[in-house]
Homo-oligomer: A and B are copies of this chain.
């Protein structure tokens, strides 16, 4: 499995009545299929996976498989707090035809979760999973992170194919890229540091921002791939500003609003996430109107 390039972390659209809208979800995928995105993550943090029910998750997995074109790599978020439940969810993703599982760290019992817990958890999941596992470290949400030594130990497992590291700590990417087996892929989750991360040894990125600006994100990857470093640096600056305004400052509500402005199905997130304030909407509108068209940079 070649995990490289840019993946969109998909959002979960809701209908007027608050139910998951599979139609809108499929419509978004239809649009993304025409881009250079390498693939999609269904039910990640951006997909409000902690806010949807078990049944809704099943429907989303099925709809994702159905709507994604065959050349796109499909990844399912399957991390749960319990090891057994994580394995069960990973098997469901495999049954739905997903290519890999993105497994976020368990995180509730932080004081008890040392390296030993993470090693045992991920090895159990990888042993029990019919599909390759990607580690997922996202301290901004979980309050825990996978350190270099743990990642390198887990990278030796034949069914652990890589990591999505959303910590923004570029030094860890340098260290993991230096020490892990060749096939192990580091993907950054930070749209503001994609180009430095690629320089540091990352193989690609899984980005919330790519749900609103897929072409831009792909263009950045392609510039780096093509050795056009100065242009990459310039586009990275543009995307960092976009990511800050849309994602860092306004969260999933901001991302979905930007998606709506760009012609995708957006809409509000689920409570307790609040609808976007008017003032944030204005900021996002301003930001998007100032963006260069992607074509100019690609």
Contacts and interface: CB of A to CB of B under 8 A. Distances in A.
Max count, chain B CB within 10 A of own CB: residue among A110, A171, A195, A236: A171
Contacts of A143: 110, 142-143
Interface in A188-236: 190, 192-193, 195-197, 199-201, 227, 229, 232-233, 236
By CB atoms of chain B within 10 A, which of A18, A113, A248, A271 has the most? A271
Interface stretch (A25-33, A76-84, A257-265, A282-290): A76-84
B120 A241 contact: no
A174 B201 contact: no
Interface residues of A, number: 65
Chain A interface, DSSP helix/strand/loop, else mixed = helix
A170 B199 CA distance: 12
Contacts of A106: 272
B50 A271 contact: no
A270 B171 contact: no
23 contacts: A18-B84, A45-B108, A45-B109, A82-B270, A83-B271, A84-B271, A108-B142, A111-B140, A112-B253, A112-B273, A116-B274, A117-B272, A170-B170, A173-B196, A174-B237, A175-B241, A175-B244, A177-B237, A178-B238, A196-B197, A199-B199, A199-B232, A200-B233
